[in-house]
Structure 1
Amino acid sequence: MSGNSAGRAFIGSFTSAGGQGITAAAVDRETGALTVLGSTDVLPDPSYLVSGLGPGPGGTALYAVSETSKGAAAAFDVSGDVPRLLGTPQSVRADGPTHLTLAAGRVVTANYGSGGVTVLPVRGDGSLGPAESVLLHEGGGPDASRQTAPHAHGVLADPSGQWLLSVDLGTDSVRVCVVDPDTGQLRLHGETALSPGSGPRHLAFHPAGRFAYVVGELDPTLTVCAWDAATGVLEPVAVTAVLPDDVITGPEQRTYPSEAVVSHDGRFLWVANRGHDSISVLTLDVTGEKAALAASVGCGGHWPRGLALDPTGQWLYAANERSGNVSWFAVDAATGIPQHAGSLDVPAPSCVAFA
């Protein structure tokens, strides 16, 4: 591996299913290959990770949820080969956090079990302080097995940094919130209803910031939404299938799409589909408003829970939870179609993040 082509990736996994917690891996930018450097299981079930500014000049910290009934979040120093805990894990005062983001100098978690979001401050050394606020969601949906209560599954700051969007699988909606920069208190600004029973899971923005894409877990669709950063209003404009017409889906045969990723140039969007064990390729028009399914390829394993694009935009990574591997794909610059290039055995992986 040449020195100037090396990067760093971090793999979150379920320790309760035999995972190693957080694994650090070197990334060869020329081949996409991952090489394990070290791991730590000090935090139970770190199912989702995000990197951000850490202590020291140019430092990077890694933040993780602990997807347990006593939900927590933690910070890690990743300057060495083995991630090192910064401070102590902090309670999110909620059950089952599944996702987190950085916003307003804070970490915000989406709590699936309790149905809401939590704000935690980031201290000067990169560690987390006690939770500042918790905003509980309300409502439900038509699916009696999954939507009897709110289930926040994703949370993301908009490109302007003014707003926080939380995606709730249980209520078929996306909430727009504001974080007070002084106190960390959350204020609900508005709520956007999506298709009943779609079970929205995650959200991704187009690079231009005018459109957002919400992937449904209970219905294999992608909802394209117009986003107005001036007013904080999210408006659905179209719904697109993420699987070919010949794939049979329904309540008894679901595909459980998990994550949507947009290319850096805004031309393509990829969706991981767990039951179908595939990655869907959608093309986006020049504005980002129109999405069309172009292809579907195998994910290189079973049950792709996480999907991530490396910083160069050349390599796409799928965390295949049930087959215990992370696969990487070379992205065709002309078509956006991923071509399988390799795989690394990692027990119960759920997420890939890059420093």
Structure 2
Amino acid sequence: MLAAALIASVMSAAPEAAAAPIEVLIGTYTDGESRGIYRVTLDSKTGALGEPTLAAEIENPSFLALSPDGSHVYAVSEAFGGGRADGVTAFALGDDGGLTKLNAQPSAADGAKAGACHVSVSPDGEAVFAANYGGGSVASYPVREDGSLGEPATLAQHEGSSVNPRRQEAPHAHCVTPAPGGGFVLCADLGLDQILVYQVDPQTAALTQHSVTDTPPGGGPRHVAFTPDGRFAYCCLEMGNAVVALAWDGDAGTLTPLQTLPTLPEDFDGNSSTAEVRVHPNGKFVYVTNRGHDSAAVYAIGEDGQLTLVEIEPLAVDTPRGMNLTPDGRFLLACGQASDDLVSFRVNLETGALAPTGSRVNVPKAVDVLPLPAN
């Protein structure tokens, strides 16, 4: 009787756990029908997406970041004129995925060109970082006890240019990605063809430039993602349609390039550019979105950090910009910026390959997606 009761108890609990939905937030551009950040649920068993609802009204929230404890969300407002919009906004995150605005801070000096395009949070949750594409600068902020942002601790202006006179006439900082351990952040600057490493002051959140790594000329480095163990980093080249594998020395705060691979098929001769790079939570795979070819390049990570192509999977959206994996690594979500939608794919945990779930929902000008950990 005891065994039967135990089995019955497990059987009754298992379906509820398996069916628990994953909350997902979507950043958008608001120059059309969109009003800000949207929220959907993802069925954790099937990958089916629920109906989107508005989570927060905010201008052009083109990138979102979650605090390590899952209690706060930070969003950039991507504007290209001084004073037009807040640079970074802090939100308290409710259990249902709802957002309550706490405050906002600028990402550039008064009157300076900003174009905030990326935001991230330090591993300890004590600092937030932002990159300004339009102004070619980075900002850092201390995080207050309630999750709101303190005044900028750093507004660091990049200088220089690179080989493409149209796209690289000036600096264009495109991401600020914290390194595991929290002592450094990496900024990929598309205009300079460089990844700049900054050291982080743990007391003030201030940044000090520490080292610089060159990337292939004219490639235009965009985003950087680390393996969970912090040994390797991967940078997508927006203009070069490629991904660079790098070894990371967390003690020295330096990068060593290992390999550069294309993200497109050899026979593709159309216009395309990369947008997002993500590392699977299990540390075995890398994913890069291709805008134009409208696909995701999937790679397996070797023991030495170098990549082997698994597949280039069509994403069935127009202009796939943001893309992310669920915390359990079982699903990949991709935004269609020009097709106004969000789609889901099942991930093969053994090979990294993607298979469409068939689920698609309408989200106007979707550009970033942030799956939330289970409560």
In the alignment of these two chains, the number of paired residues is 345
Contact 2:67 2:73 in 1 (8 A): yes
Check the 8 A contact 1:111/1:151 in 2, yes or no.
yes
The 1:101–1:89 alpha-carbon spacing in structure 2 relative to 1, beyond 3 Å, is: same
How many Å apart are 1:26 and its aligned residue?
1.8
Q: Residues 345 and 65 of structure 1: is their aligned pair in 2 closer, same or farther, counting only changes over 3 Å?
A: same
Residue in structure 2 matched with residue 332 of structure 1 by the alignment: 348
Partner of residue 45, structure 1:
60
- Tell me if structure 2 keeps the 8 A contact 1:300–1:343: no
Structure 1 residue aligned with 2:244: 223
Q: 2:262 aligns with which of 226, 236, 241?
A: 241
TM-aligned CA deviation for residue 261 of structure 1: 1.1
- Who is 2:114 aligned against? 95
Q: How many Å apart are 1:41 and its aligned residue? A: 5.0
Residues 71-118 of structure 1 show CA distances to partners (whole Å, capped at 9, x for unaligned) of 511111221546333322211125111001112611100110111110
Q: Pick from 275, 282, 286 the counterpart of residue 258 of structure 1.
A: 275
- Which structure 2 segments of 5+ residues have no match? 1-14
C-alpha separation in 2, matches of 1:80 and 1:166 = 32
Say if 1:17 and 1:212 are closer, same or farther in 2 by CA, change over 3 A: same
Aligned residue number for residue 177 of structure 2: 156
The alpha-carbon deviation at position 300 of structure 1 amounts to 1.9
Change (3 A) 1:16 1:286: same
Q: Give CA deviations for 1:164-204 in whole Å, capped at 9, x if unaligned.
A: 10110000000000121222221000111111000000011
Q: 5+ residue gaps in structure 1?
A: none
Aligned to 1:64: 75
| Partner residue, 1:15 | 30
TM-score by structure 1 length? 0.93
The aligned residue for residue 109 of structure 1 is 130
Q: 1:186 to 1:59 in 2, by over 3 A?
A: closer
User: What is the SS of the residue equivalent to 1:154?
Assistant: coil
1:272-311 residue pairs with structure 2 within 5 A?
272-287=289-304, 289-311=305-327
**C-alpha offsets along residues 274-318 of structure 1, whole Å, 9 cap, x if unaligned?**
11001111122133x211222111112100010100011000010
TM-score (norm 2): 0.88
- Aligned twin of 2:339: 323
C-alpha deviations, 1:116-139, integer Å up to 9, x for none? 110122211112222221111111
Q: Secondary structure in 1 aligned to 2:176?
A: strand
Mapped to 1, the partners of 2:33 and 2:163 lie a distance apart of: 34
* RMSD (CA atoms): 1.7
Number of the residue aligned with 2:10 = none
Matched to 1:273, the amino acid is: N
Compare the two structures and name the one with the higher strand fraction. 1
Q: Which residue of 1 aligns with 2:45?
A: 30
Q: How far, CA to CA, are the matches of 1:59 and 1:322 in structure 2?
A: 30
